[in-house]
């Protein structure tokens, strides 16, 4: 089981520092892998950009959309198990995102 973030959600107006914060909250509370879903031709660009801004500390890997099972954080319900739907990741909603993922994990157990 993992938590999957759609890569497009990390783009501005989202803040990479807020993405790092929410991945830290989820990683520390649930001790499960954090993955980013991106098209194969986009991975290098996302990796270099997010790493440069310090957002990769709690991210385990990139995966192609739909290839992994887990709880998804997305801007739309693209796949089953999308547990949080938001339009951006900013400091005002990091607790909401982490709480939504945690609540879904509790229901799964």
d(CA 85, CA 44): 25
pLDDT of the residue at 7 = 97
Q: What is the pLDDT of residue 108?
A: 67
Measuring CA to CA, which residue among 59, 76, 86 is closest to residue 4?
Answer: 59
Q: Is the peptide bond before 13 cis (omega within 30 degrees of 0)?
A: yes
From first to last of its 109 residues, the chain has per-residue pLDDT tens of 899 999 999 999 999 999 999 999 999 988 999 999 999 999 999 999 999 999 999 999 999 999 999 999 999 999 888 999 999 999 999 999 999 999 988 776 5
For the chain, how many structural domains are there in total? 1
- 78 lies in which domain range? 3-108
Characterize 41-71 residue by residue with b for buried, 16 or more Cβ atoms within 10 angstroms of its Cβ, and e for exposed.
eebeebbeebeeeebbebbeebbebeebebb
């Amino acid at each position: 089981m993992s938590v999957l973030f759609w890569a497009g959600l990390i783009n501005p107006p989202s803040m990479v520092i807020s993405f790092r914060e929410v991945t830290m909250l989820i990683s520390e509370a649930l001790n499960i892998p954090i993955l980013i879903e991106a098209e194969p031709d986009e991975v290098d660009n996302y990796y270099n950009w997010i790493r440069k801004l310090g957002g990769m500390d709690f991210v385990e890997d990139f995966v192609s959309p739909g290839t992994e099972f887990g709880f998804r954080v997305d801007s739309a319900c693209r796949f089953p198990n999308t547990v949080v739907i938001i339009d951006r990741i900013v400091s005002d909603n990091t607790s909401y995102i982490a709480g939504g993922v945690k609540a879904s994990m509790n229901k799964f157990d």
